[in-house]
Structure 1
Amino acid sequence: MSSEQMVHMNRGQGETSYAQNSSLQNAAQNRMRSLIEEAIADLCSTSTLLPSRSMVVADLGCSSGPNALVLVSIAVDAIQSHCLRYQQQPLAEICVLLNDLPDNDFNVVVKSLVAFQQSHKSIVAGIVPGSFYGRLFCSDSLHLVCSSNSLHWLSKAPDELKRNRIPAYDIDEHVRRERRTIVLGAYARQFGKDFTQFLELRAKELVPGGRMVVSLAGRRSEEPASKYTHAWESVAQILSEMASKGVINRGKFESFYIPIYGPSDEGLRDIIQSEGSFSIRELQVHEPTSDNTLITPSRMANMLRAGFEPIIIQHFGPAETIMDKFVSTAERRWSLQGSLQEELAANPRVILVVSLTKKV
């Protein structure tokens, strides 16, 4: 991740923390359960993949809070259940590795990891800080890689937009519509570069025949990309209103780029096939699990704050009230009956889940 932008979720356990506002992300993780279990069954059934009777499982972009151990817990339970079901000797050891950027709240993660080790025998665990757009592990050392709700975060915002001073989200709606294709194209190209690099690096780190199961925010291929500007549309709209009213500096808003892109399922498939290191076992497209009618303006505002506060504060300055104004602006926007549901319906997003096998 670019050093210019400090990307991490809100720390701690408070009301505005990611830990208290991550139920949607947990639902996305549970969508991965069957594919992780299938990957484990495949690995355990192929004796050549486990010559030392040990397995290494890595979660990339683990974040913090209650979701940090969900994916590795699914994997460990699946390993133990498989051995029991087929009366196989339990693996000698399972190594669990958790990764995220250095600014992640690893203090909370480590405490959870210690408790996890105490309740699961033969578990070796470790923390690996760093960007998953760089090398993280030794060659041919991993058996299973998981990642949930992380890979739509880019290594950086598109340089071409910054270089040409093209705002990611124009306050002027007419100009925004005219530039939408340019902006989307720049973000799509950056995602293509980043995801290709991610695949190349993981191909070096996974054993031959190793498995990978990842999920990320995206859109359906049949939904025209021209309708959307960003996966972070709601954040942009709130900040745009704040800039229009002078709450935040308009110039700073026009130079604000959140490094997120939600690809289509076909776009994701094309990148994987073009890179060539992996075969696609399955690619699923899921609607968000939560019913939009149950998401209140206050809950939605807090979820956005938990995910975007650090990067907003870094760009606009450490004003103590800026995020309080962000929340109040959001709640005011959505105070009319049906307005929040209408906004969510106008910007439909899906969860893409893909299961991959490293080619031998």
Structure 2
Amino acid sequence: MMHMNQGQGETSYAVNSSHQNAKQERLKPLIEAAIIDLCSNNDNLSHGKVVIADLGCSSGPNALVLVSTAVKAIHGHFLRLQQSPPEVCVLLNDLPDNDFNMVVKSLVTLRRSHEPVVTVGITPGSFYERLFMSGSLHLMCSSYCLHWLSKSPEVLIRNRIPAYDIDGDARLERLLVVHEAYAQQFRSDFTNFLDLRAKELVSGGRLVVSLLGRTIASKSSHIWEGIVIPLSIMVSEGVIDKDKFHSFYLPMYGPSNDELREIIQAEGSFSIMAMQVHGLITGTDSAVINPSRYMKMIRAVFEQLVVQHFGDVMDEVVRTGEQHFSLDGRLHDLTANGTMLVVSLTKS
């Protein structure tokens, strides 16, 4: 099972996802530009109807941000032209264990707050599988999701190579092997993702996504370290079994922008309209991020995976992480090699 912490409690994703919300702001201008491009080309609109989807919508206040941006852009474009806007269908997708109860309530509000017609729907399932009918969507977007893989690299699991070895020397020695295994899994998954979306989009349809990445020079597993560092400390303190830790594989990978560009070009279904690279912690984030807030975010994202593998240890993980990242410079060092990649694509 894979899902963010459900509900609206203190440890929920809904309460602890302001960082992800800030990153959604990076997508808004690209979504608005994609909508203007689509609406300006009448061949891309089918009989006055527009269908948009958010892949990996999660739950809480972030679930409707991207599709709401698209709907407002559509209505604003036709209002400026003094024309009647098209009917809009909004579809939200995430894995079946996502907290869709909150999402449904939000969708009802979205549907009632717009004129003319905005219809809504939910499509549960993995975005590494077909989700929609062929040639049925005009715009798809996804924020902070595609660094999640369909699975952890089987070559590491089969050969019992830890993704993050407790021993620092062994970890350094295996770094390139681990990196390459994850890079290959990402290449396979993202290529598959593009192929599936190309089947579902209309000709000239748009795809706007963001994901966690890394600097070109880095081979670090920084994308996991917010959770694996506290866990590794707990191993050294005897709280968690070493073998249990070494069999913990997170299905996540952050590519460089060059990797992402090469995969898109090799797959061949899309043209790159824009690609942006942003720092992981910048602006208001850098001013307010602290170990306590950071570990609450980590808990909201990773708790289900940790509990499934290690049992009820998350309170101790949070305490350990807060203590570790309170030391000068450690939280900055953790995020220094991370990036946010934002890409706008047009179906060729």
Q: Give the match's secondary structure for 2:175.
A: helix
Structure 1 equivalent of residue 342 of structure 2: 353
Report if the CA contact (8 A) 1:211-1:356 is conserved.
yes
- Once residues 157 and 272 of structure 1 are traced to their aligned partners in structure 2, the CA distance between those partners, rounded to angstroms, is 21
1:326 aligns with 2:317: yes
**1:105-254 equivalent positions in 2, closer than 5 A:** 105-121=99-115, 122-221=117-216, 224-226=217-219, 228-254=220-246
Q: Which structure 1 residue ranges, 4+ long, deviate > 6 Å from structure 2?
A: none
Q: Give the match's secondary structure for 1:37.
A: helix
> Which of the residues 250, 257, 260 maps onto 2:252?
260
- Once residues 279 and 60 of structure 2 are traced to their aligned partners in structure 1, the CA distance between those partners, rounded to angstroms, is 24
1:281 aligns with 2:273: yes
Report if the CA contact (8 A) 2:152-2:182 is conserved.
yes
Q: Give the match's secondary structure for 2:277.
A: strand
Q: Give the match's secondary structure for 2:223.
A: coil
Structure 2 equivalent of residue 12 of structure 1: 7
> Which of the residues 295, 298, 311 maps onto 1:301?
295
Note the C-alpha offset of 1:48. 1.2
Q: Give the match's secondary structure for 1:315.
A: helix
The Cα RMSD (Å) is 1.1
TM-score of the two chains, using structure 1 as the length reference: 0.94
Note the C-alpha offset of 1:245. 1.2
Size of the alignment, in residue pairs? 345
- Percent of aligned pairs with the same amino acid: 61
Structure 2 equivalent of residue 98 of structure 1: 92
Unaligned runs of 5+ in 1: 1-5
Note the C-alpha offset of 1:201. 0.2
> Which of the residues 51, 55, 61 maps onto 1:60?
55
> Which of the residues 322, 325, 332 maps onto 1:341?
332
Note the C-alpha offset of 1:292. 2.9
Q: Provide, for residues 303-355 of structure 1, a one-character-per-residue CA deviation record: whole Å limited to 9, x for no partner.
A: 100000001111112x2xx111011101111233444334433xx21110000
Unaligned runs of 5+ in 2: none
